[in-house]
Structure 1
C-alpha cells in the first residue's frame, strides 16, 4: 500500500476504506457504477473492476436486480492484506486486535512444535538471520518489524506443512499489525528480543514442548503490549506506510 498505485488500485482503496468506515453499511446498496465513477473521477470501467476486486475480497456481493450490496464484516476476507490495511486506515479496533491475538494463540504454538521437530539447517539459518536483523535494529536502529515478520514466517515455513506455509503468506499483514503496535511501545522491541531468542533456541534444541511454551510467552507479551498501547489512547500505527524504524535505545 505504500507504493504508488495505479487508478484501479487507488479506486479500490477509496471504496474499501469507505465500506470499512461505515459510509456504506452492511446490507446497504452502493451507488450505481456511473454515480461512483462521477464521484471518484474515474471511468465506469475502473469502477467495475474495483467492484470485482471487492467481491473477491468478500466485502460486497453483486446481482442483476439487487445491485452491489455490502456484506457483513464476518464475511470479509481478513487474511487479505488490503482488507487489513483498510482496517488500519479506518482504525485498529480492540475487537480486531483481540481476534488477532486469539488466532496467534491457536496457530503459532502448534506450528512452532512442528518447526522444532522438522526444521532443516537451512530453516534454522533463515530464522537466525531474521533474529540477527531484529537484534541489529534494537542495538543500532533500523527496521525491526520486517525482520520480526521474517522470523515468524520462517517458523511457519519450517513446519514443512504446505497449508501452514501458505498461511504464512496470508498471516503476513495480520502479524505486521501486531508487531507495529508492540514496537510503538517504548522498549517494546528490546523487551521482546530475548523472548524470540528463547523460541529459536528451543527450536534449535529440538525441544518441541519448550518451543511451544516459549512462543506462548512471546504471544502473551505482545498481547500485553497491545493492551497498554490501547489503554494509553496513543495513536495506532498505519499499515499503508513503511515499517516504523527503531531509533537507538527505543
Structure 2
C-alpha cells in the first residue's frame, strides 16, 4: 500500500469517526437537555441523515451507542424513542458531561457530592484495611504530583483524580472503580471555578493518605468525610450558574 493511498484511507476513516462522534454528542445533548422527549416521536433516520449530512450507517451506529448509554431504545416495530432519565447510565463520562451542560452547575455539583459523600469515605476505610504496598505507592505518587502542581501554580486535576482513583482501587472492590467518572466530573467543576480550592485542601488529602498508610480505617473514613464536606462548603460560594 503506497503512502498516498494509506493517507486517503486514514483521512476518510478519521472524518467518518469525527462525524459519528459529532452525531452521538449532539443527539445525546438534545436528549439530556429535553429537546428530544420520551413521549414524543423521535426523528426518522432519513431526517437525521439530512440534518447531519451523514450516511445511514453513521446514524445507526450513533443510535446503538446512545442505546448502550441508556438514552435511546430501538425496536423493529416501534422504531427509535428517547428513554426517560431513570434509564440513563449516569456513570458514563459523556452522559455526565451532557447532563452537567443541561442543568445549573450548583445543582449538579450538589448531586455529585451527595453521592461522593456516600461512597468515598467508605472506600477510604476499605483502602486502609486492604491497600497493598503498590496501592500506597500509587496514592503517595499522586499526592506528590498534586503538591508539585500546587507549587508550580498549574492545573493539578490529573493528579487529583489519580489520587482519588488510587483510593478506589486500593479498596479492592472493582465496582468502586466505576465511580471514577463521577469523581472526575466533580473535580473538573471544582478546578474550573476555583484553583485555590486545590491548594487549600491539600492538607485534607494528606490526612486521608496518612490514615490509609497507617491502616486506620476509622481515621481514613473521617478524614475523607471531612475533606468532602469542607470542599463542598467552600465550592458552594464559588460555583456560578452561568
- The structural deviation recorded for 1:13 is 0.8
Partner of 1:41: 53
Tell whether 2:156 aligns with 1:147.
no
**Partner SS state of residue 25, structure 1:** coil
Partner of 1:223: 232
- The structural deviation recorded for 1:18 is 1.4
Could you list the per-position Cα deviations for residues 55-114 of structure 1 after superposition, in whole angstroms to 9, with x for gaps in the alignment? Answer: 110011122332211111121000111111222343454443232112111111111111
**Partner SS state of residue 58, structure 1:** coil
The answer as to whether partners of 1:11 and 1:47 remain within 8 angstroms in 2 is yes
The answer as to whether partners of 1:37 and 1:44 remain within 8 angstroms in 2 is yes
TM-score (norm 2): 0.87
Partner of 1:204: 213
Partner of 1:248: none
Q: Which has the higher helix share?
A: 2
Partner of 1:179: 187
TM-score (norm 1): 0.84
Could you list the per-position Cα deviations for residues 116-169 of structure 1 after superposition, in whole angstroms to 9, with x for gaps in the alignment? Answer: 1111111111101100111111111223111111001100111122332xxx2x
Residue of structure 2 aligned with 1:157, choices 156, 159, 169: 169
Q: 1:228 to 1:210 in 2, by over 3 A?
A: same
Q: How many residues align?
A: 226
Partners of 2:84 and 2:179 lie apart in 1 by 21
**Partner SS state of residue 90, structure 2:** coil
- The structural deviation recorded for 1:17 is 1.1
Partners of 2:22 and 2:104 lie apart in 1 by 21
Partners of 1:227 and 1:27 lie apart in 2 by 35
**Partner SS state of residue 237, structure 2:** helix
Partner of 1:50: 62
Q: Which stretch of structure 1 is more off in the superposition, 62-71 or 215-224?
A: 62-71
Which protein has the larger Cα radius of gyration, Structure 1 or Structure 2? Answer: 2
Partners of 1:196 and 1:108 lie apart in 2 by 12
Q: What runs of 5+ residues in structure 1 fail to find an aligned partner?
A: 236-250
Matches within 5 A, 1:60-79: 60-79=72-91
Partner of 2:5: none
